[in-house]
Structure 1
Amino acid sequence: MDEEALTALAFGPDAGSADPIPRDGSPRQRLLAAIVLGARGRYAAAADLLDPLRRGRDPLTASLAASTLASHRRQLGAHVVARKLDGEALLAVGLRGEGDRRAATAGGSGTAGGGLAAARAGSRGVGSGSAGDGAAAAGAAVGSRGVGSGGVGSGGVGSGRAGAGAASTRAGVGSRGGGSSRAGTGTDSPAPKSTPAAADSPPSPPATASLSASASPGSLVTPTGDPHGLDLQGARADALLGLAADNLAIGRISAARRLAIRAAQADRRWRATVRGGWVGAEIELADGQPEAAVAPARLAYETAVARHARRHIVKSGIVLGVALLAARESGARELVLAAAADAEKYELDSLNWVAARVAADLDPDRAEEYRFRSRQVLHAVLRHADPCMMRIALESPWVPVGPG
């Protein structure tokens, strides 16, 4: 399978394929393969590809690999691990280029109340989190669980234990239970009601401006920009959005907002817009503002549809469905059932168990069927995780490994 085919699987309409995913090739091919494997819930295989890439000498490749791995970890409730990886990803590329990288490694200042400072804290494993993109079934008072946040690869829709039935969906949608509840978030102070910039700005065409740091020999891409954000701008946005999701998971809503805004400033192309919309919706749901969650969720969905990005359409459909349900608006059922059908069709197991879990709350006549399928897919996903991640998932309150 060549690079073009892998790109179509990762970012295009061909999200499913019976072909085996290659494990060799250029750094870009291996990164794309890891993204596809993660989307299918093959986390151990994806980690085998990502670990060497994030430990390589090229900072861009290392950053994107670390952000992708963080996304996969977050989807199974490992927010502390994800925070460390997202911090590593941001430190690899800095906030603007080489100068920031040197400042970061030398002890430079933080940014936006969470940027490099959060990155360094994350890289030391500081902070805790067992909340929900990780990747998340949309913690929005949708159901009895919640929704998580996602990352570069497949994102994660996590789950909570409060609400009404959107079961655990830490696979790519939100990071906290919805409504005004703060249970388990670790914070009682309200966050500013500003909406992340990603939710306020229309999608921009692929960037063509030159990047601030030149690519190293053997780098993932050239510095002329990449339509899918696999470049320095995109890497910074991925790391910042990952840190926003990680902070949201431990109840730091204000920090999550600031990081999301900084991510939108870093990259306004389609993938950053979609992922920014997911995180923006999660922030509003976590802050008890379901009506405000609809706009960023809708932006994410419409942008994904315009790009024919199948995997992103599926996750965006779940996020928007949860936001609409939490805001008591119509259209949630159709979106979530369509997402569940596509996740099944394209073997997107990282989203399949999440979509089925949420669908059970929206289709009472088939609720038991959806719940059974969700458990079945989740158990298959856990079998394809490395032993450490399986243990974390089994202990996580965001991953519904038990009955029900």
Structure 2
Amino acid sequence: MDEEALTALAFGPDAGPADSIPRDGSPRQRLLAAIVLGARGRYAAAAELLDPLRRGRNPLTASLAASTLASHRRQLGAHVVARRLDGEALLAVGLRGVGERGAATAGGGPGLAGSGPGLAGGGPGLAGSGLAAAGSGSRGVGSGPAGTGADSPVPGSTSATTGSPPATASPSTSASQGSLVESTEDPDGLDLQGARADAFLGLAADNLALGRISAARRLAVRAAQADRRWRSTVRGGWVGAEIELAAGQPEAAVAPARLAYETAVARHARRHIVKSGIVLGVALLAAGQDGARELLVAAAADAEKYELDSLGWVADRVAADVDHDRAEEYRFRSRQVLHAVLRRADPCVMRIAHESPWVPIGPG
């Protein structure tokens, strides 16, 4: 399978069985393969590809790999671990881009203000935060409300990045490597601007999960300043909607969720359409507006059809809230898919998931 085919699987309308995804090739091919494997809930296989990439010499690839691994950790409730990985991703590519507007990284401006939340005071930390609180009615998807233990460490988190030490590249070291300076623009955001946006959005999602709504807002602003292309727009819409849901403003969550959904549909990006449908459906449901049922039922059907297990258990869980005639069927399937996902995760992440308030592991 060549790079074009892997890109279509990761960001386009195509779908294929995870067993057919190659585990070799160029660094970019391995990164794309890990993205596809993660979408199908094959987290251990994805981590085997991502860990060497994030410890490699190419700072751009290392950043994208760290952000991708952070997303996979977050999807099973490991927000503290994910925050460290996204901080690592941001360190690899630097805090600011040439065209980025906004305040500096300290002194109270948007983003990494020196007030404690964000990077400061909590260590480092993909958007959408895993949708792990799905199925909770008006509280919706995503990071969930505050009250997750804030800065208390997640049990087992020290080894949750597959047991390898984090990358240690400094901003000055990264900037001296030609691959960072000379990276060309990529239509799907696998470039310098996109990597910065990924890291900022990841930090926003995990700060939100830890109850730091103001920090999440600042970091989301920094992400929008870093990159405004389709993938960052979609992921920024997810995080923006989750921020408003967590802040108790469901009506305000609808606009960013709708922007994410419409952008994903325009790009025919299957995986992003499914997740955007979940986010928009929950926002509409929380706001008491029409259209939630159709979106959530369609997302559950597509997640099953395209074997997107990382989203399937969430989609089924929220579909049960709106399709009462099939609620038990959806809940049963959600448990089945989640247990299958956990069987394909590395042991330390399984332990974190079992102890996470965002992952509904129970009998069945």
**Does TM, normalized by the shorter one, top 0.5?**
yes
The 1:96/1:269 distance shift into structure 2, 3 A limit, reads: same
How does the TM-score come out when normalised to structure 1?
0.77
Task: Give the drift of 1:93.
Answer: 0.5
Inter-partner Cα distance in structure 2 for 1:91 and 1:9: 28
Deviations 1:210-239 (A, max 9, x none): xxx98956x499522000000000000000
Name the structure 2 match of 1:277: 237
Question: CA contact under 8 A between 1:86 and 1:122: conserved in structure 2?
Answer: no
* Residues in 2 aligned to 1:119 and 1:90: alpha-carbon distance in whole angstroms: 10
Structure 2 residue corresponding to 1:248, chosen from 198, 208, 218:
208
How far off is 1:49 after superposition? 0.4
User: Which residue of 95, 111, 115 maps to 2:112?
Assistant: 115
> What is the letter of the counterpart of residue 112 of structure 2?
G
Give 1:357's aligned amino acid.
R
Whether the aligned pair in 2 keeps the contact of 1:87 and 1:120 (CA below 8 Å) is no
Are 2:360 and 1:400 equivalent residues in the alignment? yes
Measure, in 2, the Cα distance between the counterparts of 1:123 and 1:286: 22
Amino acid paired to 1:395: E
Q: Does 1:159 align with 2:119?
A: no
Q: Secondary structure at the match of 1:366?
A: helix
Residues 284-309 of structure 1, C-alpha deviation per residue, up to 9 Å, x if partnerless?
00000000000000000000000000
- Inter-partner Cα distance in structure 1 for 2:226 and 2:56: 24
Report the secondary structure of 1:115's partner residue: coil
| Counterpart check, 1:94 vs 2:94 | yes
Partner of 2:143: 175
Select 2:316's aligned residue among 349, 352, 356.
356
Distance 2:183 2:57 in 1: 17
Cα distance in 2 for partners of 1:366, 1:263 equals 39
Please state whether the residue corresponding to 2:20 is helix, strand or coil: coil
Match of 2:252 in 1: 292
Q: Does 1:336 align with 2:283?
A: no
Judge conservation of contact 1:27–1:220 (CA < 8 Å) in 2.
no
Shift of 1:121: 4.8
For residue 95 of structure 1, report the CA deviation from its aligned partner.
2.1
Match of 1:385 among 326, 345, 354: 345
Note if 1:66 corresponds to 2:66: yes
Distance 1:57 1:119, change over 3 A: farther
**1:231-251 deviation digits (Å, cap 9, x = unpaired):** 000000000000000100011
Secondary structure at the residue paired with 1:258? helix
- Which string of whole-angstrom CA distances, capped at 9 and with x for unpartnered residues, describes residues 341-374 of structure 1? 1000000000000000000111011001000000
* AA of the residue aligned to 2:133: S
Of 320, 328, 344 in structure 1, the residue corresponding to residue 280 of structure 2 is 320
Q: Which letter does structure 2 place at the counterpart of 1:223?
A: S
Following the alignment from structure 1 to structure 2, what is the Cα–Cα distance between the partners of residues 357 and 160?
6
1:79 and 1:345 mapped to 2: Cα distance? Answer: 28
1:352 is paired with a residue whose SS is helix
Cα distance between partner residues in 2 of 1:358 and 1:161: 4
Q: Is the 8 A contact 1:70 1:242 kept in 2?
A: yes
Deviation at 1:20, TM superposition (A): 1.0
Report if the CA contact (8 A) 1:54-1:65 is conserved: yes
Instruction: For structure 2, list consecutive stretches of 5 or more residues without a partner in the other structure.
Output: 152-173
Match of residue 220, structure 2, among 248, 255, 260: 260
Q: Kindly tell me: are residues 5 and 276 of structure 1, through their superposed partners in 2, closer, same or farther at Cα, counting changes over 3 Å?
A: same
Alpha-carbon distance, 1:158 to partner: 1.1
The residue type equivalent to 2:66 in the other structure is A
Kindly indicate whether the alpha-carbon contact (under 8 Å) linking 1:294 and 1:320 is maintained by their aligned counterparts in 2. Answer: yes
Q: Return the offset for 1:183.
A: 5.4
State the Cα deviation string for residues 158-202 of structure 1 (Å, max 9, x = none). Answer: 117965696xxxxxx52114xxxx555869xxxxxxxxxxxxxxx
Higher helix share: 2
Distance in 2 (CA, whole Å) between partners of 1:300 and 1:322 is: 13
CA distance in 1, matches of 2:312, 2:17: 16
Measured after TM superposition, the shift of residue 157 of structure 1 is 1.1
Q: Per the alignment, do residues 215 and 307 of structure 1 end up closer, same or farther by CA in structure 2, a change over 3 Å counting?
A: farther
How many residues are treated as equivalent by the alignment? 335
Quote the Cα distance in structure 2 between the aligned partners of 1:110 and 1:380.
46
* Alignment-mate amino acid for residue 230 of structure 1: L
> How does 1:183-198 map onto structure 2 within 5 Å?
none
Counterpart AA for 2:41: G
The 1:323/1:165 distance shift into structure 2, 3 A limit, reads closer
Structure 1 letter corresponding to 2:189: G
Identical counterparts, % of pairs: 80
Aligned pair 1:76/2:73, yes or no?
no
Distance in 2 of aligned mates of 1:5 and 1:256? 35
* Cα distance in 2, alignment partners of residues 236 and 64 from structure 1: 9
Distance 1:353 1:220, change over 3 A: farther
Within-5 A mapping of 1:177-256: 177=145, 216=177, 219=179, 223-256=183-216
Distance in 2 (CA, whole Å) between partners of 1:29 and 1:122 is 33
Displacement after TM superposition at 1:45 (Å): 0.4
Partner Cα separation in structure 2 for residue 82 and residue 301 of structure 1: 25
